[in-house]
Structure 1
Amino acid sequence: MGEKHKIRFEPVGIDIEADEDETILNAAFRQGVMLMHGCKEGQCSACKSFLLEGDLQMDRYSTFALADYENEEGYVLLCRGHAYSDLEIELVNYDEDMIRSGLPVVTAGTTVESIAGLTHDISLVRLKLDPDAGLRFHPGQYVDIAIPGTEEHRSFSMANTTVADGVLEFIIKRYPGGKFSGLLEGTLAAGDPLSVTGPYGTFTLRVSSDRRLVFVGGGAGMSPILSLLQQMADSGNEREAVYYYGARTERDLFHLEQMADLARRLPNFTFVPCLSESAPEGWPGEGEGETGLVTEVLERREANLADCDVYLCGPPPMVDAALPLLESMGVPGEQVFYDKFTITAAADD
Structure 2
Amino acid sequence: MDPYGVWEALRWYTELCKVISQAKVCGITNESETVKRLRLAIANKDFTFKAGQWVDFFIPGVSVVGGFSICSSPGLLEREGILELAVKHTVHPPAYWIHTECTLGSEVALRVGGDFFFDPQPGDSPVKLVLIAGGVGINPLFSILLHIADLHGYQEGKGKGYKMGTVKLYYSAKNTSELLFKENILGLMNAFPGKITCRFHVTQQTSQICKELQPHVKEGRISEKDLEKHASKDTLWYICGPPPMIESISKLLSNIGVPRNCVFFEKWW
Residue 255 (1) aligns with residue 167 (2): no
* Equivalent position of 1:299 in the other structure: 224
Matched-pair contact (CA < 8 Å) for 1:109–1:133: no
Residue 234 of structure 1 aligns to a residue whose secondary structure is helix
Structure 1 residue 263, shift from structure 2 partner: 0.9
CA offsets per residue over residues 133-175 of structure 1, 9 Å max, x none? Answer: 5311122211100143243212112112222212110111111
Consecutive unaligned residues in structure 2, runs of 5 or more? 1-9, 153-162
- AA in 2 matched with 1:171: A
In percent, how many aligned pairs have the same letter? Answer: 24
Q: Runs of at least 4 residues of structure 1 off by over 3 A? A: 279-286
Work out the CA distance in 2 between the residues paired with 1:129 and 1:242: 31
Work out the CA distance in 2 between the residues paired with 1:298 and 1:133: 44
Structure 1 residue 122, shift from structure 2 partner: 1.2
- Which structure 2 residues correspond to residues 151-170 of structure 1 after superposition, within 5 A? 151-162=63-74, 163-164=77-78, 165-170=80-85
* Equivalent position of 1:242 in the other structure: 168
* Equivalent position of 1:225 in the other structure: 141
Work out the CA distance in 2 between the residues paired with 1:253 and 1:120: 11
Higher relative contact order (CA 8 A, sep 6+): 2
Consecutive unaligned residues in structure 1, runs of 5 or more? 1-20, 31-104
Tell me the TM-score normalized by structure 2: 0.79
Residue 129 (1) aligns with residue 42 (2): yes
2:27 to 85, 108, 114: 114
Structure 1 residue 280, shift from structure 2 partner: 3.5
Residue 333 (1) aligns with residue 249 (2): no
Residue 195 (1) aligns with residue 123 (2): no
Between stretches 236-245 and 115-124, larger displacement belongs to: 236-245
Structure 1 residue 340, shift from structure 2 partner: 1.3
* Equivalent position of 2:243 in the other structure: 316
1:213 to 105, 119, 129: 129
Alpha carbons of structure 1 residues 200 and 238: separation in structure 2 relative to 1, 3 Å: closer
Matched-pair contact (CA < 8 Å) for 1:140–1:204: yes
Structure 1 residue 192, shift from structure 2 partner: 1.1
Matched-pair contact (CA < 8 Å) for 1:113–1:128: yes
Work out the CA distance in 2 between the residues paired with 1:212 and 1:179: 39
Matched-pair contact (CA < 8 Å) for 2:62–2:93: no
CA offsets per residue over residues 260-290 of structure 1, 9 Å max, x none? Answer: 2211232222111100112544688751211
Work out the CA distance in 2 between the residues paired with 1:224 and 1:334: 19
Structure 1 residue 210, shift from structure 2 partner: 2.7
CA offsets per residue over residues 5-40 of structure 1, 9 Å max, x none? Answer: xxxxxxxxxxxxxxxx99xxx9xxx9xxxxxxxxxx
Structure 1 residue 203, shift from structure 2 partner: 2.0
Work out the CA distance in 1 between the residues paired with 2:210 and 2:107: 43
Alpha carbons of structure 1 residues 315 and 205: separation in structure 2 relative to 1, 3 Å: farther
Matched-pair contact (CA < 8 Å) for 2:170–2:198: yes
> How many residue pairs were aligned?
238
Work out the CA distance in 1 between the residues paired with 2:34 and 2:113: 26
Please tell me the root mean square deviation across aligned C-alpha atoms, in Å.
2.6
- Which structure 2 residues correspond to residues 84-99 of structure 1 after superposition, within 5 A? none
Alpha carbons of structure 1 residues 280 and 238: separation in structure 2 relative to 1, 3 Å: farther
Residue 184 (1) aligns with residue 112 (2): no
Matched-pair contact (CA < 8 Å) for 1:115–1:125: yes
Residue 151 of structure 1 aligns to a residue whose secondary structure is strand
- AA in 2 matched with 1:269: I
Work out the CA distance in 2 between the residues paired with 1:186 and 1:215: 32
- AA in 1 matched with 2:179: L
In our comparison, the structure showing a higher alpha carbon Rg is 1
Work out the CA distance in 2 between the residues paired with 1:227 and 1:169: 9
Tell me the TM-score normalized by structure 1: 0.62
